[in-house]
Structure 1
C-alpha cells in the first residue's frame, strides 16, 4: 500500500515537473516574440502595410484611376530600400492609432502632423514636408479673422490637426464646429453651402481648390498654424530609424526635392 502511494506521488511530481518545464518554455518563446524587432517582423512578412486616407496630394487616385501622391511615391521608394513590398490599406483616420497598435497596419503614411501627443504614443520620423492649417470660405464671403466665424458653422476632419486648431482658437471655439470623416467632405460642405468655413491642411487646400478644380469658388483666407509632417510607426519601432536614414539619402541625392516639386510641396527644414 505504501509502495503504491509512493508511486502515485512520484508520478504526480513528474507530471508537475513536465508542466512547469513546458510553461517555462512557452514563456521563453513568448518573450522571444515580444522582443522581436519591428523591422524583422515586417521583413519576415515581406511587406510594409501602409495606412492612408484619400488625401491629395499625399495619397489619392488621379483622373486616370492611378493611385499616386507624394507619400505614395515616397513610400514605394522607401520600401525598395527596406527590401519589402508596400501594401496600401485605406483606414479610418479617427482609429489610426488603434489599427497601428493592433498590427492591422505597420505605419501611418498620410500627411501626419507631428505633435507632442502623437510623439508620446508613436515612433515618428524626422519632419519631411511643411504644412499649415488654413481657413477656407466661399469666394465673396466677408472674412476679418476668426472672429468672423463666431456662431457660424465650421468644419474640419475629425481627429485632425484642423480640429485641434479650432479647439485652440478662442474665436473658433465659439463657432458651431461639425467634424467630418474626410477633408474632402469638408470641401463638399463648403461648396454646397452647408458650412460657412473649413479648417484644412494647406497641402490639400492648394491642390483641391482654385482654377481648374472642382472647387474653383473656394478660397484660402487665413493661415492659423504652421506644422510638419512625419511617418508614424508603433512606439519603440526600429523601422523608424531605418526610414530616417533613407530619408537622409533621398534628401542628399535630390529624390525628395524632385517629389516635392512634382506635387507642389515644400520640404521641412
Structure 2
C-alpha cells in the first residue's frame, strides 16, 4: 500500500456521477432498498470465469487497509466482513479460498489478467456499472466526514476554508471534485488532499495536519472506536451508495453464482451472524440489500 505521500492521481473507488446530497445519520438506515447493477458489453483481456467450469481457487483481491471490510488482523491473517462472507461462499462451493492483499491502484490490471478472481472489498457500484461483471448490491454504504472532537466543526458548511483529506480513488474524493455531487462543498475547502490509506489519514487528523477526513461510514466507526473524546462524525453524510462484488467482464455467470450463494447464506441466518460479529465496527444487517433465496 502507498505511504503518506500526498497525490491527486486516480486510484481508489472511482465514483464519477453519483446522485445524492447530504443525508442525516438517522436517515441512512431508513433509505429504500438497493438497486441492481449491470455489466457492460465489452470483453476483458483475460478468459472469463464460468460458474459451470470454475473450480477454484477463489482468489479475492482486497485492500488490507480497509477495515472492517478487509484488513490484516492482530494474528497477521486477513480478516473482515467481506473476508468472512467470501469464506462462507467458498465453504459452500468447496472452493479453495485465497484472500490476497493488493495495491488498490492495480486492481483492474490484476482482475483482467486473471491474477485475482474478483474484487470483494467494499467496492462501490455507482459509476462503475460498465467496468465489471457485478453482483447485485449486497450492502448500502455512505460517505461521512470525521473531525477532531474539539474542532468546533459541526456541519458540512463548517468545512469551508478547512484542510480535508480522503483516500486516493475513493468514492468521497470523486464526490468532492469537479463533476461530483458535492463539488461545491469540495470547492469551499482550503485544500483537498488524497492519501494512500485511511489509517495514516486518521493519524494525521489527530495530529492536526488536517481538519477533517472524508471516509466510508464503517471505516469511520472502526477508527473512532472508543476514542470519542478525540474524533467526532458529522451528522450530515455526503451521499448514499452501494457495494457489489466485481468480476471481470464476461464472468457474469460466476458473479450470479456467488450472488445466489449469498442469498442462500442469508436465508440460513449466516449473513446476519457475520453482520452482528462486526456490528461494533459499523456493519449493520439493516444495510444488507440482497433478498433471501
Structure number with greater Rg is 1
Runs of 5+ consecutive residues of structure 1 not aligned to the other structure: 1-33
How far apart are residue 42 of structure 1 and its match? 4.3
How far apart are residue 56 of structure 1 and its match? 1.2
- Partner SS for 1:235: coil
1:191-210 matches, cutoff 5 A: 191-210=206-225
**Length-normalised TM-score, structure 1:** 0.79
How far apart are residue 118 of structure 1 and its match? 1.2
Please say if 1:110 is aligned against 2:110.
no
How far apart are residue 144 of structure 1 and its match? 4.6
Moved over 6 A (4+): none
1:7-86 matches, cutoff 5 A: 37-39=49-51, 42-43=54-55, 46-54=56-64, 55-86=66-97
1:101-180 matches, cutoff 5 A: 101-115=112-126, 117-167=127-177, 168=180, 169=182, 170-175=184-189, 176-180=191-195
Residue 245 of structure 2: aligned partner: 231
CA contact (8 A) 1:210 1:218 kept: no
2:100 to 89, 102, 115: 89
Residue 111 of structure 2: aligned partner: 100
How far apart are residue 152 of structure 1 and its match? 2.0
**Length-normalised TM-score, structure 2:** 0.73
Count matched residues.
232
**Relative to 1, partners in 2 of residues 1:35 and 1:196: Cα closer, same or farther, differing over 3 Å?**
closer
How far apart are residue 111 of structure 1 and its match? 1.0
Give the number of the structure with larger relative contact order, counting CA–CA contacts within 8 Å between residues 6 or more apart: 2
How far apart are residue 184 of structure 1 and its match? 1.9
Runs of 5+ consecutive residues of structure 2 not aligned to the other structure: 1-45
